[in-house]
Amino acid sequence: MEPKELQEFIYYFTRSNKLSRAQLKKRDYLIARDCVHDNSLFPKEDNPTNRASRPIFASLSPIDTAKFLSLFNDPMGLKYLTHDFDHVNDGRPQTLDDLYKQVKLLLDNKDLNIPSSLWAPINNYLQGGKEWRDTFGIAHNSYIIDGPWKEWSHQNSMHPINNPVFAAEIMTFRSTIRLVSPFLKEICKKAKTGLSLIIKEENLEKADFYTNTYVLYLVIKRILIMMNRRMDKNPNVRISYKRTSDSEGRMIRQIQISQCGSYADKPLDEIKKRLSTDPEAGDFGSIRNSLNGYCLWQVESLWAGKPLRWNILKTDEMREIENVDEGSIEGFTHTFTFYIL
């Protein structure tokens, strides 16, 4: 087996939704290197030239992820993972076996370019073998073709969602890939537990779109913890939700978190440099890796007294740094922009 083939095999065999993409890549490299006797095929990790030539952070497209998530509304896609069967004779799945084959084919698509943190729990919920975690990190081992689910479904000629016991697990899984109203309020409530911030919420009850809610919960919690460390600056935080569209007419959903009257205390160039050389660089590195492929992420603040917007996760057309009107900045502000397709 060629080294590249071995790396790919190990990657799919051992992938975990608990590791960042950078950690997965590092792990796969080390396993593949140690499984091949001819180590000359694998350049040494401490080679500065080799380290400089490897990409540190590979950006994923949130539009690609939005297209994939739209399959949860498609009868020929992923709809019946979380919905009852529609008994329409047009090729739609009518049994769990047909559903499994259809979804497995979609998930095995080699051109699928979505975050591994999204692929893994959907795959685990489809066929079992590994646990998936709900929005608040609780592990679940239920899956669509579980023995009792299949037996009940075959005997009753129904989707397992018609069984109250199975339905509870199905709806829990559904909440991990869809932010159903008013679930964002519950996420923020749990995320701020134990913190001393004074939080004002705006329109959170209106949030309803597809994303990885476990990732979103972890990111919101991390940001609130960051803001809690700066309580001495200002304890007031605003979390808002907005439905709008971009310049191309695409529907977008935005979540914004702002700590009023609190501004950056480190130079922007310093933070940018660290993030460009270290994919795991502190809070910003963790948030970027977690959100990669799900949404755009921008931060606004006064940097050394200058009002700037830093587009950390962005489209190709967007500039990384933009000047903004000082009057529009109420404090250190994070904006997450999700596409709806």
pLDDT in tens, the chain (341 residues): 455 555 555 555 555 555 555 555 555 555 544 444 444 444 444 454 444 444 478 899 999 999 999 999 999 999 999 999 999 999 999 999 999 999 999 999 988 999 999 999 999 999 999 999 999 999 999 999 999 999 999 999 999 999 999 999 999 999 999 999 999 999 999 999 999 999 999 999 999 999 999 999 999 999 999 999 999 889 999 999 999 999 889 999 999 999 999 999 888 998 898 888 876 778 999 999 999 999 999 999 999 899 999 999 999 999 999 999 988 899 999 999 999 99
d(CA 146, CA 162): 15
**Of 93, 25, 172, which is closest to residue 11 (Cα–Cα)?**
25
- Are residues 139 and 131 in contact, defined by beta-carbon separation less than 8 angstroms? yes
d(CA 122, CA 134): 11
Please give the pLDDT value at position 41.
43
DSSP state of 252: E
Please give the pLDDT value at position 17.
54
- Radius of gyration for the alpha carbons in the chain, expressed in angstroms and rounded: 22
DSSP state of 338: E
CA angle, 316 as apex, 69 and 326 as ends, to 5°?
100
- Are residues 311 and 322 in contact, defined by beta-carbon separation less than 8 angstroms? yes
Residue 220: CB atoms within 10 A of its CB come to: 21
What letter represents residue 27's amino acid?
R
Please give the pLDDT value at position 265.
87
**Structure tokens of 185?**
């309020």
**Of 146, 154, 45, which is closest to residue 95 (Cα–Cα)?**
154
- Are residues 146 and 163 in contact, defined by beta-carbon separation less than 8 angstroms? no
Its sign, for the CA torsion 70, 80, 105, 90, is: negative
Q: Which residues contact 245 (CB under 8 A, 6 or more apart)?
A: 251, 252
- Are residues 273 and 282 in contact, defined by beta-carbon separation less than 8 angstroms? no
d(CA 184, CA 206): 8
Please give the pLDDT value at position 301.
96
**Of 232, 263, 254, which is closest to residue 330 (Cα–Cα)?**
263
- Are residues 42 and 29 in contact, defined by beta-carbon separation less than 8 angstroms? yes
**Of 26, 37, 70, which is closest to residue 178 (Cα–Cα)?**
70
- Are residues 100 and 93 in contact, defined by beta-carbon separation less than 8 angstroms? no
DSSP H stretches of helix in the chain = 3-14, 21-35, 48-53, 62-69, 96-107, 116-127, 147-156, 164-177, 183-191, 213-228, 268-277, 282-291
